[in-house]
Amino acid sequence: MKLNRGTKQNHSMKEKILLASIDLMTKNGINNTSLADIAKEVNISKGTLYYHYSSKDDIIFDIADNHLNIISEALFDCLDRINHHFTTEELVIIVLKNISNIERTGRIHMYLLCEAIIGNDALKERIGLKYVEWRTALEKQIMEIISDKSHAKAASFLLISIVDGLVVQAILKAEKVPYGEIAKFLIDYSDKIKKLPL
Amino acid sequence: MKLNRGTKQNHSMKEKILLASIDLMTKNGINNTSLADIAKEVNISKGTLYYHYSSKDDIIFDIADNHLNIISEALFDCLDRINHHFTTEELVIIVLKNISNIERTGRIHMYLLCEAIIGNDALKERIGLKYVEWRTALEKQIMEIISDKSHAKAASFLLISIVDGLVVQAILKAEKVPYGEIAKFLIDYSDKIKKLPL
Amino acid sequence: MKLNRGTKQNHSMKEKILLASIDLMTKNGINNTSLADIAKEVNISKGTLYYHYSSKDDIIFDIADNHLNIISEALFDCLDRINHHFTTEELVIIVLKNISNIERTGRIHMYLLCEAIIGNDALKERIGLKYVEWRTALEKQIMEIISDKSHAKAASFLLISIVDGLVVQAILKAEKVPYGEIAKFLIDYSDKIKKLPL
Amino acid sequence: MKLNRGTKQNHSMKEKILLASIDLMTKNGINNTSLADIAKEVNISKGTLYYHYSSKDDIIFDIADNHLNIISEALFDCLDRINHHFTTEELVIIVLKNISNIERTGRIHMYLLCEAIIGNDALKERIGLKYVEWRTALEKQIMEIISDKSHAKAASFLLISIVDGLVVQAILKAEKVPYGEIAKFLIDYSDKIKKLPL
DNA sequence: GATGAATGAGTGTTCATTCAT
DNA sequence: TATGAATGAACACTCATTCAT
């Protein structure tokens, strides 16, 4: 009982730190979030923070883990639905729903990518593995839909790219991204392509 | 002649600083490149660096300018060729040629994006404007190729996204990006789409 | 008891820093005292200094606080004595006693004034408020001594001015300030003025 | 002729620099005015500035010279008038006229005092000498008015102090300095004192 | 578990001064 | 005369990390 509570409290404290970190880093970027900021947000001392996380990289890695899992879950959930009751309308809805919080998720995604690129090799590998996992899953799915199997790989690369690229444009906020039109375009042509004679 | 050389030398110092900055920041990221690093690379004092650039942001902005112009030029050059003597083979060659140095260009591109996102609003606006410019040019070009004009805008957004997204995957180096297959896929389907009855 | 000592030690470090800062700034001026100087004097790192004081302005403000309170205390103490057992001889003694360390106190006073004037508005306001407080107290006291009440305000302004002005001349050390004669002059005439028929 | 013009131009350039320096330092303080600021204000290069003044201290010294002479002139002018046609009304007018620009003059006066105190010994001596000169002149004048000659010295110290002290209070702007009342007070009592039997 | 105190290397930036041309 | 370029020491400030208690 006591252990349990102890464990729960630890979890809850580590969770608190994690959530605060995600919050601050999403807002201000990884580099612009100091451990002091995080400690203050959680109302603990920096010492305590170090008791739960042994370094800043540790926190970043945990954030990445959390983030990548969320994306994974969303993706596999999405693929699952396509498998069972695929309708173009549903797809549009799902995509739009996910895109609604793209700014929040997208920002941390970009920060993590940059962090990984700069020199955090462990993070880079972690993210890279996830990308491969996602693309492979997509390829498998596309294989079942598309008639020209030889194009499945290329298509999967393209799909991943499109999502990443749209995130960039969404964050830049230079012009409103027409998610609706884009979804329609994708659906339209994927339909046509499916029916194409090879 | 002498004056010219004098002028050239001045230019050359600012250029030296710019080139060194691009070099270091491409390698290590913007945040991980200190002005001391740059000064040392160019073999000048930090004071001299500040004589030519009044702040780190100034340097970053100049790098961005340089970078964005290079991309612009490449894009408009590409669109020009498509206009005049379009063949699918040529397109593939052009794309592959550009992609060959995608890692170098792409890295600085990502760093600039992150820098802009974190809080460098002047940079964000500058990049945003360029994105709009590029997308608009692409849309115009697509309009002339595609039969269903209503899809031109969505297609332009997608094209930009694809490039950005492929950059990410190229940099991550998790798996070899099959540029060849991707190009073939794009060409194939753009051909088919063009011939599609509406 | 232990807690007390712990608290005392914390206090003691901040106090050490404060005292060293007062010392150095009194000697060399505020602008010519760097945080590195202070840290070195206290034998701590600059980081530690920043742990206790969040900025140089913070230190300056604390010094000002300390200084203004010392002056306030001296002034009110002085006025108190006048109230209860006023003799001209006592006044002279008190004044001379206070003036004995005028150089030390006066220097930091001038530096703080300059700092305030240059642009430290928070400090300027703080000092300004103290001046009003002092002058008002003086005015009230003068009101009880002087026969022509309408002159109390002017007299209070003059008294404050005299002290500040004498500080300047004491610091300049151009010629020995004849405190004795000045005190006698003031006492003499204040006596005569008190007895004047209106 | 040529030399004359040449000399005139030099003078004019040095004067320009001096005026700009006074202007900037009065506004922002001596320490907060860089040579770059001054050069920019005069529209010359820092190199040219160094051609006319061999150091920042040189400029400061020149400013002090200028400032001290202005005060001297005003003081001796004032004493002259008192000598020849002394009326209390005139005195009030003269004082008030001088006090009207006390803020401008007073600021640079305080900055110079601080600069001198901090460690610019040449400046300190220069200012000190002027103070002695002023006080001596005042003492001589007071000697002719006051009946108790033994108080003349003390009175001269007090008068100088009052002016300096009022400047401080004027600059602090904590409360409006009642120059009118102060002048009236001084005149009133100086009249009474003059008539006092010894 | 938790904390306050301490650290030291590093950051971008300023500035009086020098000097060849 | 005048200047642009260069310098280097100094500056206030940040921050991830350590550790005794």
pTM of the complete model: 0.89
Of residues C118, C172, C181, nearest to D29 (C-beta): C118
In D 87-116, which Cβ lie closer than 7 Å to strand E? none
Look at residue D7 in the predicted model and tell me its pLDDT.
47
Through-space separation of residue D35 CA and nucleotide F1 C1' in angstroms? 19
- Residues (pLDDT < 50) of chain B are 1-10, 197-198
Residue of A109, A102, A99 lying closest to A22 (CA atoms):
A109
Select the more confidently predicted residue: C189 or D124.
Answer: D124
Is the shortest CB-to-strand distance from B189 to strand F under 7 Å? no
Least confident of A3-7, C102-106, C170-174: A3-7
> Nearest nucleotide, C1' to the C-alpha of A48?
E2
Question: Which chain B residue has its CA at the smallest distance from A167's CA?
Answer: B161
φ/ψ (deg, to 5) at D10 = -60, -50
> Does residue A164 contact residue A80 with C-beta atoms inside 8 Å?
no
Cα distance from A163 to chain B (closest Cα, Å)? Answer: 7
Question: Which chain D residue has its CA at the smallest distance from C149's CA?
Answer: D185
The tokens describing B72, both together, are: 């612009």
Instruction: Residue D195: count other Cβ atoms within 10 Å of its Cβ.
Output: 8
pLDDT band at D31 (very low <50, low <70, confident <90, very high): very high
Q: A148 burial class (0-12, 13-18, 19+ CB within 10 angstroms)?
A: middle
Residue of B26, B198, B5, B2 lying closest to B101 (CA atoms):
B26
Q: A66 burial class (0-12, 13-18, 19+ CB within 10 angstroms)?
A: middle
Through-space separation of residue C145 CA and nucleotide E1 C1' in angstroms? 66
pLDDT at residue D65 greater than cutoff 90: yes
Q: pLDDT tens digit string along A161-198?
A: 988 999 999 999 999 999 888 888 887 777 766 665 54
How far is the C-alpha of D139 from the C-alpha of A23, rounded, in Å?
73
Look at residue A84 in the predicted model and tell me its pLDDT.
66
> Does residue B169 contact residue B153 with C-beta atoms inside 8 Å?
no
Least confident of B19-33, C68-82, D45-59: C68-82
Select the more confidently predicted residue: B168 or D81.
Answer: B168
Residue of C61, C25, C26, C110 lying closest to D112 (CA atoms):
C110
Least confident of A69-78, B21-30, B162-171, C2-11: C2-11
> Nearest nucleotide, C1' to the C-alpha of C13?
E5
Look at residue A1 in the predicted model and tell me its pLDDT.
35
Alpha helices in D101-120 (DSSP H): 102-118
pLDDT at residue A24 greater than cutoff 80: yes
CB contact under 8 A, B29 and A114: yes
Cα distance from C184 to chain D (closest Cα, Å)? Answer: 9
In this complex, which residue's CA is closest to the C1' atom of nucleotide F21?
C6
Look at residue C111 in the predicted model and tell me its pLDDT.
94
How far is the C-alpha of A35 from the C-alpha of A56, rounded, in Å?
7
Q: SS3 string of D14-41? A: HHHHHHHHHHHHHHHCCCCCCHHHHHHH
Alpha carbon B2 to its chain centroid, in Å, reads 36
Of residues B107, B131, B165, nearest to A172 (C-beta): B131
* Residue located via tokens 């392509």: A193
Residue of B129, B128, B160 lying closest to B142 (CA atoms):
B160
Select the more confidently predicted residue: C8 or D58.
Answer: D58
Look at residue B8 in the predicted model and tell me its pLDDT.
42
With residues binned 3-state (H G I as helix, E B as strand, rest as coil), the percentages for chain A, rounded to 5, are 85, 0, 15
Three-state SS for A84?
helix
As a residue count, chain C comes to 198
CB contact under 8 A, D174 and C29: no
How far is the C-alpha of D155 from the C-alpha of D146, rounded, in Å?
10
Widest distance between CA atoms in chain B: 66
How far is the C-alpha of C92 from the C-alpha of C89, rounded, in Å?
5
How far is the C-alpha of C152 from the C-alpha of C137, rounded, in Å?
11
**Partners of chain C (3+ Cβ pairs below 8 A):** D
Cα distance from D178 to chain C (closest Cα, Å)? Answer: 7
